[in-house]
Structure 1
């Protein structure tokens, strides 16, 4: 699984009372967890599209790295409810 980068599709940041976006130091919530092939020539940057076909431009690479061990998930276990079902189906087929 070294050729897979886990990326986060983030929720739209909510404006604060002053209308300047989220408060500093807060993280934007993750909407979906996707898998993307690594960009050519790198093992740390996602390619332009996820396995389900979404553009990775506005997504952030996750800190999680798939272990590559048989039977282990490609995503962080605590984010199982956020996994893109299409990306997961492709990963199950590989």
Structure 2
């Protein structure tokens, strides 16, 4: 599998309802994970590449604490965010396996 970084597309609206990036219930002003994406690591670096596998800009996204390389045999995303996985990123990564 390609080395990837899992990133969160966050909803920072103060009235957002859902899980915060830590997995806890979002309070007022707490960022909420809107969607989970995957991005390649930049060439010759360990830094996040400029675009996700689905083509979105990673500039405003936040790197997730979940690292697929630390969870062999698991999916590329954390189980608690399975309902927020970007289907396009997931399809690209499925094609690589």
Task: Please tell me the root mean square deviation across aligned C-alpha atoms, in Å.
Answer: 2.1
How many Å separate the matches in 1 of 2:2 and 2:62? 18
- Is 1:12 aligned to 2:12, yes or no? yes
Deviation at 1:37, TM superposition (A): 0.1
Give the counterpart of 1:57 among 48, 56, 59: 59
Larger Rg belongs to:
1
Q: Tell me which residue corresponds to 2:94.
A: 92
| 1:14-93 equivalent positions in 2, closer than 5 A | 14=14, 27-43=30-46, 45-67=47-69, 69-70=72-73, 72-93=74-95
For normalisation by structure 1, the TM-score amounts to 0.78
Distance in 2 separating the partners of 1:29 and 1:37: 23
Q: State the aligned residue count.
A: 84
TM-score (norm 2): 0.76
Partner Cα distance (2:2, 2:79) in 1: 18
Gap regions ≥5 residues in structure 1: 16-21
